[in-house]
Amino acid sequence: MTNDKKPWSGRFTEPTDRQVEEFTASIDFDKRLYRYDIEGSIAHCRMLAGRGIISKEEENTIVSGLTDILQDMETGNFAYSIDCEDIHMAVERSLTDRIGDVGGKLHTGRSRNDQVSLDIRLYLRDEIVRTIDLVETLKSSLLTLAKNEIDTAMPGYTHLQRAQPVLLSHYLLAYWEMLNRDNSRLTECYGRTNIMPLGSAALAGTGLSIDRDYVAECLNFPLMTKNSMDAVSDRDFIAEFIFDASLLMMHMSRFCEDLIIWTSEEYGFVEISDAFTTGSSIMPQKKNPDVAELIRGKTGRIYGNLVAILTVLKGLPMTYNRDLQEDKEPLFDTIDTVQGSLHILSEMTKNLCFHRQRMLEEAAKGFSTATDVAEYLVMQGVPFRDAHEIVGRLVGYCLETDKELPSLTIDEFRHFHEGFREDVYDRLTVESSVNARNIPGGTSKEMVVRRIAEIEEKKS
C-alpha cells in the first residue's frame, strides 16, 4: 500500500489542497534526474553506515531497494505520481513502500535542499561533457571542410558589402576558433559545477557526524562546497552554463545566417544537401534552408532561458526558496536545444557543396583589391592616408566610366599618381590579394595551411 503522507505532515492539520499539489509539483520534468538522485542516495547511505549512523544491514537493505527502483525506472516500469511532488520524494516513497520503515533512515543528515543541488550538479557535469564532445564534432566537420576548400577564394564582407577577398578555408576556421573558445568556457564551467554540496542540509549543515569527504570521493567530486548557505541557495553554475550555451548558439546562428544568405540565388555560393532542406507546400520549385533557420530561431529561445534563470535568482533572499524549482526547465530545455542543434549542424556541414567558380568571380568584383592598390602606393613611399585618397578617386573614376580596376590602362593609373608602374596589375588579382595577407592570422594560403597543421598537431 502506498504511503501518501507528506514528509512535513507532522506540522500540518489539513491535507494539501489538490490545486497546490498540482501547482507545486515538479515530478513531470525533474524525473530526468532519477539516476543521479539514486546515485547520490546510495553514496549517502554508504556514508551513514560507515559512520555508524545506520547499521550495515540497514545499508544493504536500502541500497538493494534503491537498485531495484533504478532498474524499474530504467526499464520504464516505475509509476510516477504527482502526489510525490518531486523526484526525491518519488524515490523515497517508493523505497519505503518496498522495504518498510528503514527506508525513512535514508534522509538522515540531509535535506532536499542539498539533495537537489547535488542531483543537478551530477546531471549537469555529464551534460557538459556531452556538449563539449558535440562541439568537438562540429569543429572537426569545419576543419575537414576547410582542408577540402583550401584553394577556394570568396568575397569577404564588412557591413554585408564586399570588402576584400579571403579564402573560404579562412572563413570556416573563423568559426572553428569561436567554437574552440566555447569549449574553453564549457570546460571552465565544468570545473565550477564539479563541486559536492551534499552535507549542507537545509542551510546550516547537520549536527550528525557525517563524512563529506567520503561522499565526494564516491561521487568523483574533487572539491566540496565551503559554505552551506551558499551551497543550497545559488545556481550560478546553471546560469553560467546557459550563458555559455547562449554564446555557442549565437556562433552557430551566425554561421547559419551566412548559409541562409549564401543559398539564395542572389548569392549562389553554396547548396545544402536535399537531406537537410525542405520544400514549400504551394511552390514546387522551392528548396528552403529550414534547418539553418531553425537553429537561428532556437538561439533566441536559449537567450530567453538565460534571462529566465537570471530573473529567478536576482531577488532571492538567503537561502533556499521554492523559486529555485524554476531552475530546471530552462536548464533542461537549453541542454536539449543546444545538443540537438550541434548534432544536426555537424551533419549538415558535411553535406555542403560550395560553388567555387561563382565565389571566385564575385570575389573579384566590387573593387575588392582597392586596399591592395593603396598598399602598393605605400610601398612606393606614399603615406597611407594619401594613398587611401588617391585610390578612392581611382574608384570614383571607375564608377563614372563603368570600368573595373584591372581594365584601367597604366596611363589612367598614372593620371592619379605617377608612382604607378606596370607591376601594379600583379596586385589586382584575387589570388595575389589573398596571398599578400601572409602574416600570422592572415588569410593567405600559407597561413591557413599552417593554422590547420597547428590544430591537427594539437589534436594528435
Element (H, E) at 196: strand 195-196
CA distance linking residue 179 with residue 293, whole number of Å: 19
378 and 428 together in one domain: yes
Q: How many helices (H) and strands (E) does the chain have?
A: 18, 6
pLDDT one-digit tens code per residue, 42-79? 999 999 999 999 999 999 999 999 999 999 999 999 99
Q: Which helix (H) or strand (E) holds 164?
A: strand 161-167
Q: Are residues 141 and 284 in the same domain?
A: yes
Q: How far apart are the C-alpha atoms of 5 and 9, rounded to whole Å?
A: 7
Distances (CA, A) of 55 to 12, 69, 152, 314: 31, 21, 71, 44
CATH code of the domain covering residue 18: 1.10.275.10
Over residues 29-48, the mean pLDDT reads: 97
Please say if the pLDDT value at position 381 is more than 80: yes
Query: Is residue 296 one of the residues assigned to a domain?
Result: yes
Q: How many CA atoms lie within 13 A of 71 on its CB side?
A: 6
What is the three-class DSSP state of 132? Answer: helix
pLDDT of 106 > 60? The answer is: yes
Domain that holds residue 438: 364-459
Residue 17's pLDDT band, with cuts at 50, 70 and 90, is: low
Interval 185-244: pLDDT, tens: 999 999 999 999 999 999 999 999 999 999 999 999 999 999 999 999 999 999 999 999
> According to the model, what pLDDT value does residue 15 have?
74
Q: Are residues 227 and 329 in the same domain?
A: yes
Q: Are residues 14 and 140 in the same domain?
A: no
Question: Is 217 inside a domain boundary?
Answer: no
Q: Which grid coordinates are listed for 231?
A: 551551497
Domain boundary among 338, 361, 384: 361
Q: Are residues 118 and 44 in the same domain?
A: no
The HSE-up count of residue 253 (CA atoms within 13 Å, CB side) is 17
Together in a domain, 47 and 137: no
The predicted pLDDT at position 20 comes to: 72
Torsion angles phi and psi, residue 365, rounded to 5? -90, 170
Asked if residue 208 is part of any domain, the answer here is: no
* Same domain? 404 vs 353: no
Cβ(29)–Cβ(329) below 8 Å: yes
Cα–Cα distance measured from residue 113 to residue 93, given in angstroms and rounded to the nearest whole number:
17
pLDDT digits (tens, 9 = 90+) for 283-309: 999 999 999 999 999 999 999 999 999
| Distance separating alpha carbons of residues 102 and 309, to the nearest angstrom | 38
Does 425 reside within a domain? yes
Q: Per the domain annotation, does 1 fall within a domain?
A: no
Tell me the per-residue pLDDT of 301-357, one tens digit each, with 9 for 90 and over: 999 999 999 999 999 999 999 999 999 999 999 999 999 999 999 999 999 999 999
Query: Do 350 and 400 fall within a single domain?
Result: no
The pLDDT assigned to 22 comes to 65
Which position has the grid cell 502526489? 83
Q: Are 355 and 269 in contact (CB under 8 A)?
A: yes
At position 64, the amino acid (one-letter code) is S
Q: Which residues contact 82 (CB under 8 A, 6 or more apart)?
A: 21, 22, 25, 27, 28
As annotated, the active-site residues are 159, 280
User: Which neighbouring-strand residues pair with 157?
Assistant: 162
The single-letter DSSP state of residue 288 is B
Confidence of residue 7 (pLDDT cuts 50, 70, 90): low
Q: Are residues 130 and 256 in the same domain?
A: yes
How many angstroms separate the CA atoms of 58 and 81, rounded? 27
pLDDT of 389-447, one tens digit each? 999 999 999 999 999 999 999 999 999 999 999 999 999 999 999 999 999 999 999 99
Collapsed DSSP state (helix, strand, coil) of residue 1: coil
Tell me how crowded residue 178 is: count the other CB atoms within 10 A of its CB: 18
**Residue at which a domain ends, from 361, 385, 401:** 361
- Domain count along the chain: 3
Pick from 314, 343, 361: which residue ends a domain? Answer: 361
Residues 368 and 431 occupy one common structural domain: yes
User: Are both 302 and 375 inside the same structural domain?
Assistant: no
Query: Which triple of cell numbers denotes residue 315?
Result: 531577488
Q: What angle do CA 258, 264, 267 make, to 5 degrees?
A: 75
CATH number at residue 417: 1.10.40.30
Question: Over 60: is that where the pLDDT of 179 sits?
Answer: yes
1 confidence band (pLDDT: 50, 70, 90): very low
This prediction has a pTM of: 0.94
Same domain, 24 and 146: no
| Number of neighbouring beta carbons within 10 Å of residue 314 | 7
